[in-house]
Amino acid sequence: MRTTFSSDDIAELKRNPCVFDCTENSVYYTHEFKQRALQLQAEGVSTKEIWRRSGFNITKWKKHYFRLTLRDWRRAVQKSGLEGLTKRGGTPHDRGPKHTDTDTLKRLELQVKYLQAENDFLAKLRARRAESNSGRMKNTNSLER
């Protein structure tokens, strides 16, 4: 049985920069998210954690959705390389009409939005690290002699 999304769920999903489009029965992720998700999984990050880190409410999906989705993406990459994640029919979830210029523009806008969010996250992380490092005492033993 597939996950069915309400109109509120669809609106929430469409606001996420990792989502290209969404319908009642399907979520179409950006190419960048698919690549990053596969990379994170290869680094040992759990499948649910990948979606959680990307700002998704993971309670909306069935138990094995994340694992099976990444399996499909891995198979597409094995079959056709990274291009397999974007070309029409590359994965079962990407079958649909050919992409138009409007779709390309939307994908690029979403990519910019995703990268900006990632940069904001990294900037906050750097600021936290700098803040925590600023209060540390340096090795003063060598200066006392």
pLDDT in tens, 27-56: 888 888 998 999 999 999 998 899 888 888
Segment (H or E) for 60? none
Residue 36 lies in a domain: yes
Q: Is the pLDDT of residue 16 over 60?
A: yes
The parent domain of residue 32 ranges over 7-134
Q: Report the DSSP beta bridge partners of residue 28.
A: 21
What is the CA angle 123-108-11, rounded to 5?
85
Q: Is the pLDDT of residue 129 over 50?
A: yes
Residue 5 — left, alpha, or beta (φ > 0 → left; ψ -120 to 50 → alpha)?
beta
More confident call, 100 vs 16: 16
**Number of domains composing the chain:** 1
Residue 140 lies in a domain: no
Mean residue pLDDT of the chain comes to 80
Residue 18 lies in a domain: yes
Q: Report the DSSP beta bridge partners of residue 19.
A: 29
What distance in Å separates the CA atoms of residue 56 and residue 13, rounded to the nearest whole number? Answer: 8
Q: Which two tokens stand for residue 97?
A: 């009409």
Beta-sheet strands, E only, within the chain:
19-22, 27-29
The per-residue pLDDT for 86 is 76
Whether the predicted model's global pTM rises above the 0.95 cut: no
Q: Report the DSSP beta bridge partners of residue 27.
A: 22
Burial 106-116 (b: 16+ CB within 10 A, else e): ebeebbeebee
Residue 28 lies in a domain: yes
Q: Which two tokens stand for residue 28?
A: 């179409």
Residue 142 lies in a domain: no
